[in-house]
Amino acid sequence: MGRKLPLGIQGFQKLREENFLYVDKTEYIEKLENGLNIIIIPKQHTKKKYVIWGTHFGSIDNRFIMPKTEEEVFIPDGVAHFLEHKMFEQENGVNSLYKMMALGLDANAYTTNDHTAYLFGCTDNFYEGLD
């Protein structure tokens, strides 16, 4: 008989006693000096690794208050999506996506109304992909 999904189960004791399926998603969270939050969710028995970089800057973010002058500044709609694409450009003109694909990484990016994210997944060349 297969293991049951723990829908609506709140306690670990019942999960163990009644043989419910349980996946440990213990997180390690660290905030870097530059304010970037790092969250690591280890997954046992898997070879694939994923990275997602995200920023709280999306398509609705077009009005800002400058910190020093408190002046209100407006930017054109679409800047977040434009910058999403520009992030893959390197100074030498090479597109980072092509370099990542050459390493065997599956890379992409997306912009929503409130954030922009860059991601890749792979089984090999993980640390090279971080460069």
Residue 76 makes CB contacts below 8 A (sequence gap 6+) with: 62
pLDDT digits (tens, 9 = 90+) for 63-77: 999 999 999 999 999
Summarize the confidence of residues 101-126 as an average pLDDT: 92
Residue positions annotated with a catalytic role: 84
Residue 109's pLDDT is 92
| pTM confidence score | 0.67
Spatial CA neighbour of 130 closest among 53, 24, 30, 66: 53
Residue 94 tokens, joined? 């090479």
Q: Helices then strands (H, E): number in the chain?
A: 4, 7
pLDDT digits (tens, 9 = 90+) for 40-58: 777 777 888 888 888 889 9
* Alpha-carbon distance values, 35 to 7, 27, 49, 110, 126 (Å): 36, 18, 24, 22, 23
Report the chain's mean pLDDT, rounded to a whole number: 84
